[in-house]
Amino acid sequence: MSLIEIRKRSLTIETIHHEGGAPVATPLRLAAACAVVRNPYAGRYEPDLMPFMAELRALGTLLAEELVGVLGKENVEVYSKAAIVGVDGELEHAAVWHEAGGWAMRSVLGEPKAMVPAAKAVAATGYRLMVPLHYIHASYVRSHYNVMEVGIQDAPRPREIVYALVMGTGGRVHARLGGLTKEQVSVHDGQR
C-alpha cells in the first residue's frame, strides 16, 4: 500500500508586469504546484521516515513536470520548495520534502547546481507560507532573490501535509541592486 494519498492539488500562477516602474517587455511568471496528502504518521512518532521520503520522489516529479509544462523548461530560472504539516504531525514530516522535492526538480530541470531553498512549518488549516526563490544555477545571483506565497484555504487539515514546488521565469521585475548577475556565473558550482 502506498504511503501517498492525495486529497487535492492546486496550481497557482502569478504574472508580474511591473512593480511600480514601467511594464516590462516579458512579464515574470511564478508558479506553485501543491499537493495535499494524508500524513501517514499523524499523531504518532515514526522513527523511520525513509520509505515515505522515497515515495515522495514520485509526487515531486509529478509537481515539477506540471510546473515545467506551464512555464517551459527552457524558461525556468528560479526554484524552491515548501511544506506545511497539519498540527497532528511534526516538522520532520516536512523535512522529508527537502530531498524528495529538491531531487525531483533537479531531475526534471536537467540537474542545475544551486541548492533548492525551502520553507516549512507545522500549522493550522489555511496557513500561508512565504517561500524563498533563487537562481537555479548559482545561489548568489542577487537579482533572482524573490518569494512566492503558497497555501490552500482548506489545508492542511490536522492529519494532512501540503507539499509545494515553486518555479519562475526570471529575477525580480525591476531588479537593480547590483551583485552577481546570471550572465556572470562562471564557476558552475551552484554558488557563483
* CATH code of the domain in which 142 resides: 3.30.1330.110
Residues 57-75, buried b or exposed e (16+ Cβ, 10 A)? eebbbbbbbbbbeebeeee
Whether 105 is covered by a domain: the verdict is yes
Whether 152 is covered by a domain: the verdict is yes
Per-residue model confidence (pLDDT) at position 122: 98
Whether 190 is covered by a domain: the verdict is no
Query: Do 11 and 33 touch, CB atoms closer than 8 A?
Result: yes
Q: Cα-Cα-Cα-Cα dihedral of 36, 81, 3, 122, to 10°? A: -70
Whether 119 is covered by a domain: the verdict is yes
Whether 103 is covered by a domain: the verdict is yes
How is 40-56 classified by DSSP, letter by letter?
Answer: TTTTS--S--HHHHHHH
CB neighbours of residue 26 within 10 Å: 10
Whether 1 is covered by a domain: the verdict is no
Per-residue model confidence (pLDDT) at position 30: 98
Whether 192 is covered by a domain: the verdict is no
Coil/strand/helix, residue 180: strand
| Structural domain count, the chain | 1
Per-residue model confidence (pLDDT) at position 192: 83
Per-residue confidence of the chain (192 residues) as pLDDT tens digits? Answer: 799 999 999 999 999 999 999 999 999 999 999 999 999 999 999 999 999 999 999 999 999 999 999 999 999 999 999 999 999 999 999 999 999 999 999 999 999 999 999 999 999 999 999 999 999 999 999 999 999 999 999 999 999 999 999 999 999 999 999 999 999 999 888 888
Domain enclosing residue 61, as ranges: 6-184
Whether 189 is covered by a domain: the verdict is no
pTM across the whole model: 0.96
Compute CA distances 111 → 76, 104, 142, 183, whole Å: 12, 10, 21, 19
Instruction: Give the whole-angstrom CA distance, residue 62 versus residue 90.
Output: 24
